[in-house]
């Protein structure tokens, strides 16, 4: 299976990519860290491919997608994982620069990837799009209002997309659950340590995601 994943340089994205590779799947991944992308390239050779791409930049995503789907090789599975967390603070203390950065990564980035990859999947008449949501895409907490907003947006965007796809395809907003990552530690500090590590999570998440299909189209799901 050909799987495209954004945000593969660390956390859930990297753990998920490596678990899929162990399962024999081909991974096409991107991330913003050149050093981490180089490490992935040195560790996992072709047909796997890793590129430095900021998904918030439409032109960069366009170039990456054009190279990836050369010869009409559409992905079987597209996973929008890349996202950032806001600085913990009340909403009125979140400045425009921080807010815009989060919107670019968490919302515009997802749309940029969909814009440039999904047409090839629609043409092929198959494929699953998984947009990583969050428990904070279905609830709220103080000091993470921008992040909550972005994940509520992902829920709505994905459900609308699900109604636009042709029969035989699926779009799923997926809550990964609570995992011990750098992002969670930025919110909960040492409280994150009581939750599963990304690698442990990926062993459950990978087979869960691979089983998603048309029957799951538009359903808000949670790993586990």
Residues labelled as active-site residues? 147
- For 150-164, b/e burial (b = at least 16 CB within 10 A) is bbbbbbebbbebbee
| Residue showing tokens 């990837």 | 113
CA distances from 58 to 13, 100, 112, 118, 126 (A): 20, 15, 6, 14, 24
- The total of other beta-carbon atoms located within 10 Å of residue 148's CB is 21
| Residue showing tokens 């029969």 | 167
**Closest alpha carbon to 5 in 101, 78, 74:** 78
The DSSP string of 150-194 is: HHHHHHHHHHHHHHHSPTTEEEEEEE----B-HHHHHHHGGGGGG
108 vs 100: CA distance, rounded Å = 10
């Amino acid at each position: 299976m050909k799987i495209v994943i954004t945000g593969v340089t660390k956390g859930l994205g990297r753990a998920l990519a490596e678990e899929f590779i162990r399962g024999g799947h081909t991974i096409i991944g991107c991330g913003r860290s050149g050093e981490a992308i180089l490490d992935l390239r040195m560790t996992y050779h072709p047909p796997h491919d890793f590129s430095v791409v900021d998904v918030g930049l439409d032109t960069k995503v366009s170039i990456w997608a054009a190279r990836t789907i050369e010869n009409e090789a559409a992905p079987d599975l597209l996973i929008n994982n890349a996202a950032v967390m806001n600085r913990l603070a009340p909403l009125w203390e979140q400045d425009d620069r921080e807010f815009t950065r989060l919107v670019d990564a968490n919302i515009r980035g997802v749309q940029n990837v969909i814009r440039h990859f999904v047409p090839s999947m629609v043409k092929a008449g198959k494929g699953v799009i998984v947009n990583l949501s969050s428990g904070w895409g279905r609830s709220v907490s103080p000091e993470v209002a921008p992040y909550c907003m972005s994940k509520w947006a992902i829920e709505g965007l994905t459900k609308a997309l699900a109604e636009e796809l042709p029969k035989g395809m699926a779009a799923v907003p997926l809550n990964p659950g609570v995992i011990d990552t750098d992002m969670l530690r930025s919110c909960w500090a040492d409280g994150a340590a009581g939750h599963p590590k990304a690698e442990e999570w990926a062993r459950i998440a990978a087979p869960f995601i691979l089983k998603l299909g048309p029957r799951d189209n538009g359903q808000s799901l949670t790993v586990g």
